[in-house]
Amino acid sequence: MILVGVFDNFFKTEIAGGVLSSVIVVFIICILAIIVGIQARRQDPLKKPKGLLLLAEIGVSYFNKMVKDLVGDGFDWLGGYIFCVSIYLFIAFIFGLTGLPSPVGNLAVPLSLGLCTFVLIHATSVKYTKGKYFKRYVDPFPFFLPVNLISMWSPLLSLSLRLFGNATAGGVLLSLVYSFMSGLGDGVITAANETLHVGAFIAPVVTPLLHAYFDLFSGLIQTLVFISLSIILIGSEKPEELE
């Protein structure tokens, strides 16, 4: 009876649109990853790869080089994380073109991505500093502990709110434009007592341009900014004497 009640409550629970969109994006990425994996197993090493496998190899090479150029050696593992985040973020931004809400418009999604980078920042610091990790919070003097504890969360807030703010701003602006277009769609009475549907002429010109900017261009820029900051913040935890 308890299990039946749990399942009933589960299916009656309303799921936020952004969370559902995020699940769909992850499902798409998983399907692509499976296809690439199958192609990689069947690929002849003496032949040049094609299709998704070629794109995957280009992506791996590009992000590994990007990590090395920004933070140097010692972070070979970071390229895979950045590659995955880049694919997810870009697809999440352009997902709004389907008419469904963008996952980035839900604060839980950018907060989760920021939390992943936040954990990697401190895990990298522990890896290199070992037991001296906690010393960072009392430098240069012990009474700086409260300030250092507060500043510790700044990367998480900065990365998360930047994504959420840009996605929300674009969504609000597009909603206002669509509301305006729907008002014009009611028609304007001309001097000849004829109804002129102005929105039908303006919407096909204005809305594609706005979607091209907020979903494609802005999505690409925000993805590059997020991964660049993540690489730099994680790489900055490597002590200078090890460079």
Residue 166 lies in a domain: yes
Residue 118 in this model has a pLDDT that exceeds 80: yes
Residue 80 lies in a domain: yes
Provide the 3-class DSSP secondary structure of residue 2: helix
Q: For residue range 35-49, what is the model confidence (pLDDT) as tens digits?
A: 999 998 988 888 888
Domain boundaries, position 140: 15-242
Q: For residue range 134-153, what is the model confidence (pLDDT) as tens digits?
A: 777 777 777 777 887 888 88
What pLDDT does 200 receive?
54
Residue 4 lies in a domain: no
User: In the predicted model, what is the mean pLDDT of residues 181-208?
Assistant: 55
Residue 9 lies in a domain: no
* Most confident by average pLDDT, 70-84, 170-184, 194-208: 70-84
Q: Decide if 197 contacts 55 (C-beta within 8 A).
A: no
Give 102's DSSP letter. Answer: P
The count of domains in the chain is: 1
Residue 74 in this model has a pLDDT that exceeds 50: yes
Residue 56 lies in a domain: yes
Neighbours of 225 (CB within 10 A): 14
Confidence of residue 7 (pLDDT cuts 50, 70, 90): very low
What distance in Å separates the CA atoms of residue 58 and residue 78, rounded to the nearest whole number? 16
**Does the reported pTM lie above 0.75?**
yes
Residue 2 lies in a domain: no
Residue 192 lies in a domain: yes
3-state helix, strand, coil in the chain (%, to 5): 80, 0, 20
What pLDDT does 191 receive?
42
Residue 7 lies in a domain: no
